[in-house]
A and B are shown apart, each in its own frame.
Chain A
């Protein structure tokens, strides 16, 4: 018997929006939350723009010990996790903890804390032999990001399978895909999943600077990320988390849970091409889309909305546009496509889960968020990218895709579940 997997709880920490409802409002408004970096002095860097979260951990309910113990990424995950758990209504104390698992995505883990501790221990890089007298007790947990999956497991008392999925910029799709796989195969009934990232630290900014992947629109930071626009000049970093409670459909129905959507298809592929480059045909992303649609038993005519990777680089725009056409044929021209990174930037491992959370809005409310900052469409990108303004349109089936360094290509199909509120 096929076990189906549904999303029943959502929690979000995003630039410009803490909480799922605030996040959906931001997307509905098509409001960009990118700005000049304030976390540190970014003036020495080429790109000085990012989607930053205004986050006060104490106001968000973290205890002093959690604030001390946890990297910012883990703090995001815990805050979003608590929201998702409350939203789901799952009484974790009343279900078998052995049937509850965790699958958390992150690309660069606790980078911010690692760099901060490096600077202290190395005396601002003056010494190669890091000074052991300056190491904080949490350093090993920053070092290995599975510590963040442990935090999520402790949040709900999970005793089933737990892991971090770290596949770079597709981590946020792959972690949820992994959670869905575990439920489908019968290894768990409920999974706390999603992804988190807080990469806004000098080393991350410089990583993208030196390969000239990030936008230098420092004089207009609010419109810096412009996917599918002729004037785009690169990605804009971001940070945030989206945590989801996913569970087996009958498990959710038995307790009368509100069901946001079904995770009906998922696939990941490697492009075996280049660690940072994409070839313009989009073959492997298309293959991932085909596989995810086959798993969802959906064909091109079923897809009502595509959530694009939309990172704001030309090579990405051409790559995914080609992949959509390859998989969906002529139908690709009729499907609205939009990209949320135009509003919240690219939070690396977290973004895929934030995009899943965002896709619940069109599925629930029939409202498709726009691609912000798309004023001057690139003629080479000839699909319907929903520029600037949200569109009212019924969405039963959404496709969301991701693409990342290392050649990872992932696709997920999210479907409205019959018999639930539309």
Chain B
């Protein structure tokens, strides 16, 4: 039996290794890659537009956040195209960019020291819809040989692992829109148990008719089809959200691993993480505040240390009220700048919270807070310092919140790296 004695047994004994982000890959409705995305975010560019991917004439919801100008065949080998859904293609390209940005080349890090931990909500449902249509219209012999894996929730982790030869832990977490934080929190957990580097986050897409009807019946989508007034979190006019596609993949590694590549840019540190679940008992408080408290305790920061909160910003009045109340209890009324750049992109499901982590890291790195667009004045009842114009200021600690349908709450604390 061969056991590497140097390896710290997983889960036993905490290691204090700092988890730092050295690479960010982004696919979003306002830009591809961190540079394009960040420029657009600071300009407050709107990315919500009429859906072009399919004919929306039969649907009451007609707008969304589509990733524009993405040509998969420019980035991926031909053999990958027939076996991948659109969301997997976006994820693979985002991962390539994240690794390139981190300056990680093949063989820099032993394959078994690299993990892949992604979030999912849908699988490759556009692919799945097409194959089910073939099955039901043309018969079993017409279904793609790739269907068995192209549409299941684990596909992105598997494909990333194969593409980059990672042989460490692999995982996929599904907790609706909180999953994008849970994946990153779980990746940090792996770094505490011997893994040096994790590719983590989520890029999600389900802009096909089959998914669209599911979004429509979720009861969460805005009934307005004007991109400027459809998704207005924390506003008096809040009436639901707009669905979009995209997200971020991060290179998360130990500080020691990053130091082995001199000159590696470090965006910041994932310093704290926690998740909770809401009781259905109306006598119990919602769990978002506790998730934030636990994440801050994990990061050893106080609310007074937090320079900005990237809110979940659901856009459903009751959910906005709950989040604003949690923020007021944690930070006091108007006690911390709060922003929701997802007003530019729509909510991106498994990708949204990961993209917020990327935005928070870019805020730390570039000393600027991107705005919440379209909202203008938030509902004064929320007592929020909502960032509606880009603020150029130092950001040392950022808190990112996310909630998933059903009661999932997650929080991540990011800290500047010194």
Contacts and interface: CB of A to CB of B under 8 A. Distances in A.
A108 B174 CA distance: 12
Contacts of A166: 120, 152-154, 172-174
A271 B129 CA distance: 29
Contacts of A141: 405-406
B215 A140 contact: yes
B148 interface: yes
Contacts of B116: 270
Contacts of A180: 11
Contacts of B171: 165, 167, 174, 178, 268
B136 A119 contact: yes
A266 B277 contact: no
Interface stretch (B137-145, B250-258, B324-332, B376-384): B137-145
Given A121-B210, A206-B135, A165 B173 contact: yes
Interface in A121-172: 121-122, 124-126, 128-132, 135-137, 139-147, 149-150, 153-154, 157-168, 171
Contacts of B136: 118-119, 122, 124-125
B280 interface: yes
B154 A167 contact: yes
A319 B214 CA distance: 40
A210 B144 contact: yes
Contact of A118 (B11, B155, B210, B212): B210
B81 interface: no
B97 interface: no
Nearest to B165: A272
Contacts of A185: 11, 14, 189
A269 interface: yes
Interface in B238-281: 274-281
B217 A135 contact: yes
A211 B174 contact: no
26 contacts: A101-B277, A118-B136, A122-B210, A124-B137, A135-B214, A143-B122, A147-B405, A154-B280, A163-B173, A165-B172, A166-B153, A167-B154, A178-B171, A181-B10, A206-B135, A208-B148, A210-B148, A268-B171, A270-B157, A272-B161, A275-B159, A294-B7, A295-B11, A406-B155, A407-B170, A408-B170
A291 B152 CA distance: 27
Contacts of B206: 143
A300 interface: yes
A187 B176 CA distance: 20
Contacts of B275: 161-163
A125 B143 CA distance: 13
B175 A163 contact: yes
A152 to B, nearest CB: 10
B217 A97 contact: no
Interface string A313-338: 00000000000000111000000000
B16 to A, nearest CB: 13
B218 A158 contact: no
Contacts of A136: 217
A248 to B, nearest CB: 12
Interface stretch (B54-62, B304-312, B334-342, B366-374): B54-62
B43 interface: no
A377 interface: no
A210 B137 contact: no
A101 B211 CA distance: 29
Contact of A139 (B128, B175, B214): B214
A118 B120 CA distance: 20
Given A118-B132, A168-B149, A181-B189, A406 B157 contact: yes
B contact face: mostly helix, strand, loop, or mixed: mixed
B132 A140 contact: no
Contacts of A207: 143, 147-148
Given A44-B140, A146-B405, A406-B161, 15 more contacts: A101-B277, A125-B132, A132-B59, A137-B217, A139-B213, A150-B277, A150-B405, A157-B280, A163-B173, A165-B174, A203-B132, A210-B143, A269-B168, A273-B162, A287-B112
The 3 closest A-B pairs by CB, nearest first: A406-B158, A125-B136, A150-B406
Q: How large is the interface on A (under 10, 10 to 19, 20 to 34, 35 or more residues)?
A: 35 or more
Nearest to B83: A275
Contacts of B408: 146, 149-150, 162-163
B290 to A, nearest CB: 7
A338 to B, nearest CB: 21
B279 A126 contact: no
B166 A203 contact: no
B133 interface: yes
A132 B161 contact: no
Contacts of B125: 143
Q: How large is the interface on B (under 10, 10 to 19, 20 to 34, 35 or more residues)?
A: 35 or more
Given A147-B406, A185-B14, A269 B169 contact: yes
A184 interface: yes
Given A143-B122, A408-B170, A269 B154 contact: no
A268 B189 CA distance: 13
B179 interface: yes
A365 interface: no
Contacts of A142: 214
Contacts of B179: 146, 163
Interface in A257-298: 265-276, 284, 287, 290-291, 293-295, 297
A122 B133 contact: yes
Interface string B1-35: 11110010111111000000000000000000000
A160 B277 contact: yes
Contact of A121 (B145, B170, B172, B213): B213
A405 B174 contact: no
Given A121-B213, A162-B408, A207-B148, A290 B3 contact: yes
B125 to A, nearest CB: 8
A181 B147 contact: no
A61 interface: no
Given A122-B133, A166-B154, A327-B1, A295 B9 contact: yes
Contacts of B167: 269-272, 284, 287
B162 A272 contact: yes
B54 A293 contact: no
Nearest to A205: B140
Contacts of B210: 118, 121-122, 130
Contact of A184 (B11, B176, B405): B11
Contacts of B233: none
A185 B146 CA distance: 38
A155 B278 CA distance: 12
A209 interface: yes
Interface in A31-80: 44-46
A216 B77 CA distance: 35
B1 A102 contact: no
Contacts of A30: none
A146 B174 contact: yes
Contacts of A206: 135, 140, 143, 147
Given A210-B144, A270-B168, A115 B132 contact: yes
